[in-house]
Amino acid sequence: MTTGQRSVLPPGKLGLPWIGETMSIARNNHQFYRDHIAKYGPVFKTRLFGKNFVIVSGHEAFHQFATDPKVQRGGTDPISVEQMFHGSLALIDGDEHHSRKDVMLHAVRTDEAMAAYLERMQRIWGTHVDTWARSGTVTLRPDLQLASAELTGALYTGDESKAHIDELNRILAAMRYSLQILPLPIPGTPYAKALKGRKRLDVLLAQAIKRHQDHPEQYDDILSRMLEEAPRHGVKAETLLGDVRHLIFAGQAGFFVPFILLTMVLGQRPELRDKAREEVLAVSPDGQITMDQVARMTYLGQLSKEVRRHFAMNSATFFGRAVEDLDIGGYHVPKGWGMIGAIHINMRNPEVFDDPEAFDPERFTAEREAALAPGSYVPHGDGERNHHRCPGEDMVTIAIKMYLTLLLRKLTWTIPPQDLTLTNELFPLPASGLTVSFTPAEVKASS
């Protein structure tokens, strides 16, 4: 394109008035992005939920989408996202977003904060691993979902009673499901139940905030850190509820999904598991896992990165919109159109990742990772930390390393025959729920 010459709209079809291609994305969210990019190329147009959108992939265009001030959040998300993430900073932009994001990052990203949570993370996941050692054969999904709900009690609400954890677990599952169905709030439907659950979660969180405010000396967790940090950024405590709900929601699937997928892959690929175990036994053979040990587990870090690249977790970013006319990937986006970054498919680009369908942690050796262009590896989005990039990125890496350490110190495992087809869910997982046969690991005595 020469300077001053206006580029054209991207290829693609807008479909019927209002409905456009909404049914297609609702039927299979991940397939929608895959099929459209195969047909139209990395940047295409569509119409969803009554709005025109440009969908962006390809590392340069993705990076521009995430960093260009002409792309802002808010006003284009589907109703289900607006209702489940009501009051979350993911749906706003500008100074208020950045201040609230700074408050969040203080509680989930600093080393000091993370170090304070390690013992609780280890206690919860370690207890589950010990149970598996006794049971032998276990279906992991329900167990790991519960473990993530337990972590919510331990790191946010300060209530670890069984009744509270079970309630959190039910509400979070209903909310997750609501994002993959049509949002019909007819009484009795799964969507209506999810909305009711979200409102109940808000009551539980308001109570937790009050408890933390009344007795700050009793808590050292994510919520207490956010409440303490908020006034330094001019953020009012009452605006934290939507952000805390978002953290809790993301923090449940954000842990159990990569844990299940990695347990499956390491069960299928003993050579990767042996290499991981070697590192665990060299760096952290027993006792409390520390931040220093976590930093030294480089191979586990590679596994944690590849699981987020290889498997479809988030198909897309939250939805944005062009606040001015802009050009991206050689195409024009008119002011007011919606814009979406296509996350998963962007990381299956053969021009960036050799043999992208293969699970290969060697892609993330320090040298090879450093050679990746901005916008290439984007499981958590892209851009500045206090913009819309996921604040949980480092916490997920730490969590995966801890989970694998606890598992590999004690156990080895096989995956018996079962249906491992990945489900058509928001975050696809093996249809069987992943049944695993555990046996004690034979740890070679060091000479």
Residues forming the site for ligand HEM (CB under 6 A): 89-90, 101, 108, 246-247, 250-251, 254, 258, 308, 313-314, 317-318, 343, 379-381, 388, 390-392, 395-396
CB of 221 to ligand HEM, least distance (A): 12
Q: Residue 46 or residue 346: which is nearer to ligand HEM going by CB?
A: 346
Q: Residue ranges for the binding site? A: 390
Q: Residue 9 or residue 202: which is nearer to ligand HEM going by CB?
A: 202
Q: Residue 310 or residue 409: which is nearer to ligand HEM going by CB?
A: 310
Q: Residue 126 or residue 258: which is nearer to ligand HEM going by CB?
A: 258
CB of 386 to ligand HEM, least distance (A): 8
Q: How many CB atoms lie within 10 A of CB 195?
A: 20
CB of 329 to ligand HEM, least distance (A): 17
**Lateral strand order in the sheet of 338-341:** 43-48, 51-56, 338-341, 320-322, 71-73
Q: Residue 250 or residue 402: which is nearer to ligand HEM going by CB?
A: 250
Q: Residue ranges for the binding site for heme? A: 390
- Which amino acid is it at 260? I
CB of 350 to ligand HEM, least distance (A): 22
CB of 253 to ligand HEM, least distance (A): 7
Per residue, what are the HEC states of the chain? CCCCCCCCCCCECCCECCCECHHHHHHCHHHHHHHHHHHHCCEEEEEECCEEEEEECCHHHHHHHHHCCCEEECCCCCHHHHHHCCCCHHHCCHHHHHHHHHHHHHHHCCHHHHHHHHHHHHHHHHHHHHHHHHHCEEEHHHHHHHHHHHHHHHHHHCCCCHHHHHHHHHHHHHHHHHCCCCCCCCCCCHHHHHHHHHHHHHHHHHHHHHHHHHCHHHCCCHHHHHHHHHHHHCCCHHHHHHHHHHHHHHHHHHHHHHHHHHHHHHHHCHHHHHHHHHHHHHHCCCCCCCHHHHHHCHHHHHHHHHHHHHCCCCCECCCEEECCCEEECCEEECCCCEEEEEHHHHCCCCCCCCCCCCCCHHHHCHHHHHCCCCCCCCECECCCCCCCCCCCHHHHHHHHHHHHHHHHHHEEEECCCCCCCECCCCCCCECCCCEEEEEECCCCCCC
Q: Residue 138 or residue 343: which is nearer to ligand HEM going by CB?
A: 343
- Which amino acid is it at 309? R
CB of 414 to ligand HEM, least distance (A): 25
CB of 97 to ligand HEM, least distance (A): 6
Per residue, what are the HEC states of 312-375? CCCCECCCEEECCCEEECCEEECCCCEEEEEHHHHCCCCCCCCCCCCCCHHHHCHHHHHCCCCC
Q: Find the angle CA(299)-CA(300)-CA(302) to the nearest 5 degrees.
A: 60
Q: Residue 239 or residue 437: which is nearer to ligand HEM going by CB?
A: 239
Q: Residue 21 or residue 243: which is nearer to ligand HEM going by CB?
A: 243
Structure tokens at 28: 């299979």
CB of 171 to ligand HEM, least distance (A): 16
Q: Residue 78 or residue 391: which is nearer to ligand HEM going by CB?
A: 391
Residue nearest to ligand HEM (CB): 392
Q: Residue 174 or residue 343: which is nearer to ligand HEM going by CB?
A: 343
CB of 334 to ligand HEM, least distance (A): 21
CB of 38 to ligand HEM, least distance (A): 22
